[in-house]
Chains A and B, each alone.
Chain A
Amino acid sequence: MSEGALAQGMSVLGRVPGVAFVLVALIAVFASMSPGFSTAPNLTNILVQSSILLLLALPMTFIIMTEGLDLSIGAVLTLGSVVLAAVALATGSLTVGFIAALAIGLAFGLLNGWLIAWLDIPPFVTTLGTLGVAQGLCLVITDGTSIVGLPSGLQFFYSGYFLGIPFPLVIAAIAYAVMHGILYHTRLGTYVPALGGNREALRHAGVNDRVVLAVIYGIGGLMAGIAALLLTSRISSAHPTAAIGMEFDAIAAVAVGGTQFERGEGWLLGTLLGVITIGVLRNGLNLLAMPSSIQVICVGLLVIVALFFDGMRKAQE
């Protein structure tokens, strides 16, 4: 019995991605070196800061599991924020603005899905193109300036509390639960790894893989729309370059979390760990007052080291 438990324990340990070890190591280092690090307010601070990235990284996990990629998600988030602000300002209603942001996010997600699934344009190129389009629209709509003067109720969504929990964490937790539910407890979820691992088999089983792909990219756009609410609330304004480049942070978080770029192997919890690891690293380096140039190098090394561990483990198997 104990042997079986041990074997089970080992196999669970074997599934733990390199990022978990990195995360534990980072927390140990920062907690011992910086007194402010392991306080409740700071840990909450890290989680709240990570919420927007998590909203992008969750659907990115799905997308990467299908052997896809979404480079446009940061620009779509920014566009969502710009549209939210512009519409809210024009109509005086945050609700209408938020709906518009969701709509524009969903539209871009479905557009990506359509271009990829029906026109067979590779995901990297498709989303590189839509990245340009979304970024261009941001600049054109705002003429490069920030949009301010939004209703003050907006700030609640990033700074407010719900039952004593910071509101962004509530949204992030719901998003995680929903995405977890979709991936592990629905039929759609079973299609996701199959799209990456064995698309032919899926087709033979009579599944319309194009529709599934479109839905997955659509979810990505929708999540970007939700993230737009948090981002806009966080800076009480919309700025045409606010989240440019965040797509790469999201992809890095997914990769660091152990999701493979091939064969449809992925793990949603790993993505959560990846997002938190990036948040912990940045926060800890800030608390240690590390020079910015060293911080830049550390971010790069984190990605390489986490993936290196994964590679080592794979090689052992």
Chain B
Amino acid sequence: MSQIEAAAPKFKLTVSRDLTDVAYRLLAVALICIALSLVSDAFLTANNLLNVLRQASLVFFMASGLTLVILTGKIDLSIGATVGLSACVAATVIKSTGSPWLGAAAAIGVGSIVGLGNGLMVTKLRIPSFIATYGMLWVAQGATYYYMSGQSVYGFPTGFRALGSGYLFGIPIPIYLMVAFLVIGYFFTKRTTYGQQIYAIGANTVAARLSGIPVNSRLNLVFVLSGAMAGLASLIYLARLNSAEGDIGETLTLPTIAAVVIGGTSLFGGVGSLFGTFIGGLILTLILNGMNLLNLNANWQPLVTGLIVLLAVWLDMKTRSKTDSN
């Protein structure tokens, strides 16, 4: 009981912050959308909007687990490599057993194990999360290379493919999954003791420990969840692309971190929300979509992303210092 009380005042503060943060972000998304619809007829069509949401779902699954880690003030750099390893293991399991369920279990299992490894390195060996997960990045990557030995695995059952490319009532299935996890994630982070403890650890680890929160086991939990979500993301990847190869994870980590950061989650921990992360992923997806629709050179993409990261966080700092002084 006492730990909930300890976390409660902080909790209220983050909600009000979240609301303003999210409002600003929705405004930003609206502005981008208006701008894009003015310059391209194809943008504001139901098809394209569903397309953008479906693309954003992959980023969201990776970024949502990462958001929990970052809320505790830690970081997970191994996320892309975890997606790659889970995808490759799941792909071979599905191919050899023909069962998507076993494949799903393998993906989420592998992800969770990698996550647990990260968690234990941070909580038991006391290695800073940045370095522990960086080491894990290489280990997972190397394991993937070793496992795949330069080959690709492809061709999955139609039923499994529906997870990524199927439709239900005209809406792509990954979007339903994304919404479901958004709702579950909302309740988990905002309405359960676990969630509040995660925020409390990020806000002040020492205080959290003193107030009786089992900090280490919660940290292990968020790393495991991060790995499990990476495993889930790998399933969406497989179902959408119908193929797995060793280099899947190479380019995924930094954009995922960028999505969380653009979504307003503070790297110091304690501040942020899953919904913000959803919007962060949406903004990143909109950039690529807009560039493709306008036939712009994709070389500009990293530059634009970088500027948006800086702008988003700078605006956060401004609005937050205002709310704090009020």
B179 at the interface (CB under 8 A from A): no
Within 8 A of A (CB), among B269-326: 297, 299-307, 309-310, 313-314, 317, 321
- In-complex Cβ contact of B138 among A132, A133, A144, A303 (8 A): A303
A137 at the interface (CB under 8 A from B): yes
Report Cα–Cα, A251/B143, bound state, in Å: 22
Docked-complex contact A301 and B139, CB < 8 angstroms: yes
Docked-complex contact B137 and A300, CB < 8 angstroms: yes
B113 at the interface (CB under 8 A from A): no
Closest 10 CB pairs of A and B: A132-B306, A136-B303, A300-B138, A296-B142, A297-B142, A293-B145, A129-B310, A300-B139, A303-B135, A293-B146
Docked-complex contact A128 and B257, CB < 8 angstroms: yes
How many Å from the CB of A315 to the closest CB on chain B? 7
Of residues A251, A291, A308, which shows the largest number of chain B Cβ atoms within 10 Å of its Cβ? Answer: A308
Contacts of A298 in B (CB 8 A): 142
Contacts of A129 in B (CB 8 A): 306-307, 309-310, 313
Mask, B125-142, CB within 8 Å of A = 1, is: 111101110111111111
Give the residue name and chain of the B residue nearest to A240 (CB). Answer: B299
Interface size grouping (class) on chain A: 35 or more
Among A88-96, A118-126, A190-198, A203-211, the stretch in contact with B:
A118-126
A156 at the interface (CB under 8 A from B): no
B221 at the interface (CB under 8 A from A): no
Interface of B toward A, CB cutoff 8 Å: 75, 77, 121, 125-128, 130-132, 134-143, 145-146, 149, 254, 257-258, 261, 266-268, 297, 299-307, 309-310, 313-314, 317, 321
Of residues B130, B143, B302, B304, which shows the largest number of chain A Cβ atoms within 10 Å of its Cβ? Answer: B302
Interface of A toward B, CB cutoff 8 Å: 69, 115, 119-122, 124-126, 128-137, 139-140, 143-144, 248, 251-252, 255, 261-262, 291-304, 307-308, 311, 314-315
Docked-complex contact B313 and A122, CB < 8 angstroms: yes
Docked-complex contact A136 and B301, CB < 8 angstroms: yes
How many Å from the CB of B180 to the closest CB on chain A? 30
Contacts of A128 in B (CB 8 A): 254, 257-258, 261, 306, 309
How many Å from the CB of A275 to the closest CB on chain B? 15
Contacts of A303 in B (CB 8 A): 131, 134-135, 138
How many Å from the CB of A267 to the closest CB on chain B? 16
How many Å from the CB of A131 to the closest CB on chain B? 6
Contacts of B143 in A (CB 8 A): 293, 297
Chain A interface, DSSP helix/strand/loop, else mixed:
helix
Docked-complex contact B302 and A300, CB < 8 angstroms: no
Of residues B135, B304, B317, which shows the largest number of chain A Cβ atoms within 10 Å of its Cβ? Answer: B135
Give the residue name and chain of the B residue nearest to A126 (CB). Answer: B310
Docked-complex contact A139 and B299, CB < 8 angstroms: yes
CB contact under 8 A between A307 and B145, given known A128-B261, A132-B302, A136-B302:
no
Contacts of A299 in B (CB 8 A): 138, 142
How many Å from the CB of A249 to the closest CB on chain B? 10
Docked-complex contact B268 and A122, CB < 8 angstroms: yes
Report Cα–Cα, A122/B310, bound state, in Å: 10
Docked-complex contact B254 and A119, CB < 8 angstroms: no
How many Å from the CB of A53 to the closest CB on chain B? 15
Docked-complex contact B128 and A296, CB < 8 angstroms: no
Docked-complex contact A140 and B303, CB < 8 angstroms: yes
Docked-complex contact A251 and B134, CB < 8 angstroms: yes
Contacts of B139 in A (CB 8 A): 296-297, 300-301, 304
Report Cα–Cα, A109/B258, bound state, in Å: 21
How many Å from the CB of A311 to the closest CB on chain B? 5
Contacts of B132 in A (CB 8 A): 304, 307
Give the residue name and chain of the A residue nearest to B303 (CB). Answer: A136
Report Cα–Cα, A132/B301, bound state, in Å: 8
Docked-complex contact A307 and B310, CB < 8 angstroms: no
CB contact under 8 A between A300 and B314, given known A125-B309, A131-B306:
no
